Amino acid sequence: MNILFIGAGYMGKERLKSLYNLKQKHKIKKLYFYDPKIKLFTYKTFKVEKIKKLSVQFLNLKKINLCIISTPHYLIKKYSLICLKTKNPINLILEKPFGMNYKESKEIVKKINKNKKVFIALNYRFFNGVKKMLNDIKSKKFGKIYSLEINFGHGHNPKILSSWKMKKKYAGGGAILDPGIHVINLIQLITNNKVKIKYVYKKNNFWKTDVEDNALIILTSKKIPLISINLSTTKWRSTFDISGNGDKGYWRLTGRGRSYGSQKYITGKRWGWLSGKKQKDTEKILSDSEEKLVFQTELNEILTAIRNNNFKKVCTYEEGLETMKLINKIYAS
């Protein structure tokens, strides 16, 4: 497999580390990278050859099988369309989001043909705790779920105002788009993409730019009548919390590794205290992990899906397009 990295920043390096650990399993042959701002792109014994100009001719000549695009939002469409022009079969992994907006997503989709596959790197489904949560919900462990609450936020840094992330023409949106796309996608997985928007409040409270730094979204579905999503880029302590209640029990999932803390997935039964214990003492910790391998797990699943032509576990462009469509409706509300 010949692989091209487009973008060799933070996420590009994470993908390279993951690929290093998977090199034998997936028979990696040649590695290239394109990033005008980066001179060297290496990890341990992995030395990636730099190319000065990205072109369709290069993709065809080197028989690139996979492109991993890890760029700012405003460059995703540009590089995706270049890659999709190649005559050879090719696969693309796009870091979230799927372009800057739904319009760009659709423009990319129009250029995808039968010998090309595109995946969106929405990796939260591969967290250990999240996987267990999704399985428990699917198996109806909690009975009929009547409420779900998500709090997700971080605080950026004092220099963020000079970044492309704070400008709509480069980022496409604020907290709703990124990081919000991750949890909005999870909601679609949980509800089989059958949700209605009841209320949206978005505000640039702190940064005073043209993208929202805080948002509250209320959704509803037949499966879960009340879904509350609180998104923020002004949480001075990083927060990731998913709590749900059903008529048989409840759960709480917190953290996602690194500054967010280890991911803990805890479940409890309704009125557990009737057993003579404190409610807290009746709860079970089903997962507690630093989640250091989530990028590797996701990449392995995508490469395995490509080899086996089975895409049930990964986020295909069709699913990514539906998530961008819902985000577009949320912004329009």
pLDDT recorded at residue 325: 98
pLDDT at 274: 96
Q: Please tell me whether residue 211 adopts helix, strand or coil conformation.
A: coil
- Set out the domains of the chain in order of their start, with CATH numbers: 2-124+296-314 (3.40.50.720), 128-290 (3.30.360.10)
Exposure class string for 137-160: b at 16+ Cβ within 10 A, else e: beeebbeebeebebbbbbbbeeee
User: Which residues 6+ apart lie within 8 Å of 14 measured at CB?
Assistant: 295
Q: What is the pTM of this model?
A: 0.96
Give me the tens of pLDDT residue by residue for the chain, a chain 333 residues long.
999 999 999 999 999 999 999 999 999 999 999 999 999 999 999 999 999 999 999 999 999 999 999 999 999 999 999 999 999 999 999 999 999 999 999 999 999 998 999 999 999 999 999 999 999 999 999 999 999 999 999 999 999 999 999 999 999 999 999 999 999 999 999 999 999 999 999 999 898 999 999 999 999 999 999 999 999 999 999 999 999 999 999 999 999 999 999 999 999 999 999 999 999 999 999 999 999 999 999 999 999 999 999 999 999 999 999 999 999 999 999
Determine the pLDDT at residue 227: 98
Give yes or no for a contact between 289 and 129, defined as CB atoms under 8 angstroms apart.
Answer: yes
Amino acid at 53: K
pLDDT of residue 241: 98
What pLDDT, on the 0 to 100 scale, is given for residue 164? 96
Report the alpha-carbon angle 321-324-326, nearest 5.
110
Let me know: does 218 contact 226? Beta carbons within 8 Å.
yes
- Residue 31 CA to residue 120 CA, distance in Å, equals 21
